Amino acid sequence: MPKLKMPRRSPALDMTPMVDLAFLLVTFFMLTAQFRPEEAVAVDTPASTSESPIPMTNMMTIVVDTAGHVYWDFTDKMVRFAVLEELGKRVNYTPSEEDKVKFANVGPVGIPIQNLQAFLALDSGDERKEYTRQFQGIPIDSTNNQLRDWILVTRTIFYNDAKENPIVALKADGNTNYSRVAEVIRTFQAPDIMISKFKMITDLESSRM
């Protein structure tokens, strides 16, 4: 009886599922990776005799530097995306995906809302710092209190998702004129905001023993 010869075929491997998986992993890491933020605003915080842990998530920080300039910051980048989109609507600005990524990593922001588009169009952190120096921080004048808008938009977005308000912190330079800090606190206590409890960020005073 003649010997049967099996046809020889080259082994084939369908790489499509592996390619799909690779793209899914790349997308996942792009959305969840924490990029190194740009250098924060230099603030020499006053000393205190007690210290409580600073939350790493769900915290909105209002920063007042030594010149009295006011900045807004938030820890969660998805909230930052939504804040940028909502504030952009107020000045007829639709941020691109690249703008959102930049905004998520610029750290504290201290410019008028109408200048956000020009701010995010800049390529480097140094250019954005230089651009920020042209302004007196976020306006908090009685006739143009944009800090109120930043706070209201942030709290609304966060509350709609988490069903609670974010933690609020005030970080002020120890050499800042107190009247400027008082203006920020008055904004916290405005009837439509009513922030009566917030954290003060300070440095732990060294022991004298």
Segment-wise mean pLDDT, segments of 10 residues, the chain, 209 residues: 59 65 65 53 55 78 94 95 97 96 94 97 93 95 94 96 94 88 95 91 52
pLDDT of residue 209: 35
Q: Measuring CA to CA, which residue among 64, 81, 74, 87 is closest to residue 153?
A: 87
pLDDT of residue 122: 95
pLDDT of residue 92: 96
Could you tell me if residue 6 is inside a domain?
no
CA distance from start to end of the chain: 103
| Domain housing 148 | 57-204
Could you tell me if residue 71 is inside a domain?
yes
Could you tell me if residue 50 is inside a domain?
no
Number of structural domains (the chain) is: 1
Whole-number Å distance between alpha carbons of 6 and 98: 57
pLDDT of residue 142: 86
pLDDT of residue 49: 47
> The pTM is what?
0.76
Phi and psi angles of residue 62, each rounded to the nearest 5 degrees, phi first:
-105, 120
Could you tell me if residue 103 is inside a domain?
yes
Could you tell me if residue 153 is inside a domain?
yes
Could you tell me if residue 8 is inside a domain?
no
Could you tell me if residue 77 is inside a domain?
yes
Could you tell me if residue 100 is inside a domain?
yes
